[in-house]
Amino acid sequence: MIRSEANRGDNENHFHLVHLSGRSLNPKSRLQALLLSLIDDRGRAKRLELLKKLEALEGKPVPIRKQLRLPQGAIQAAVLAVMKKAKKPLRITEIHKLVEKRLKREVSYDTVCSFLTVAAKNYKETRVRRIGRGHYWLSHK
């Protein structure tokens, strides 16, 4: 059942109930779902409650939240920076630990390992060399 507004000649808004049946009971469009939620009494009460909470927060400073995800390419850049500082070839586990220390957060070991594998295959572009099993070196031109 939906409550809809009907306008009579006396400029007063009156509501009457519209009974839905068949496919009208299954709103397919987002607009229909939105309209149904807007005229629902329980939804209206919840929206009014949320509006009151928002008004109470108005003017208060917004807390700074910790960034959940690293920017794209941050791990790869950190791997290259760690390898650039290294004076000898490093094992993947060493690179992984140094990257986590540099970024001050946990990083996927698989991400570091995958980057090193791909970078070593593109040696001419990245200058990352696979010296031996699990050992990588950034050649300085």
pLDDT band at residue 50 under the 50/70/90 scheme: confident
Question: What residues does CATH 1.10.10.10 cover in the chain?
Answer: 74-138
* Average pLDDT of the chain, as a whole number: 79
CA end-to-end distance (rounded Å), the chain: 75
The mean pLDDT value for 98-111 works out to: 94
Higher-scoring residue by pLDDT: 19, 29: 29
The percentage of the chain sitting over the pLDDT mark of 70, rounded to a whole number, equals 72
pLDDT of residue 82: 94
User: Measured on CA atoms in the order 80, 81, 84, 90, is the torsion positive or negative?
Assistant: negative
Architecture of domain 74-138: Orthogonal Bundle (1.10)
pTM: 0.54
What angle (nearest 5°) sits at the alpha carbon of residue 97, between those of residues 92 and 98? 95
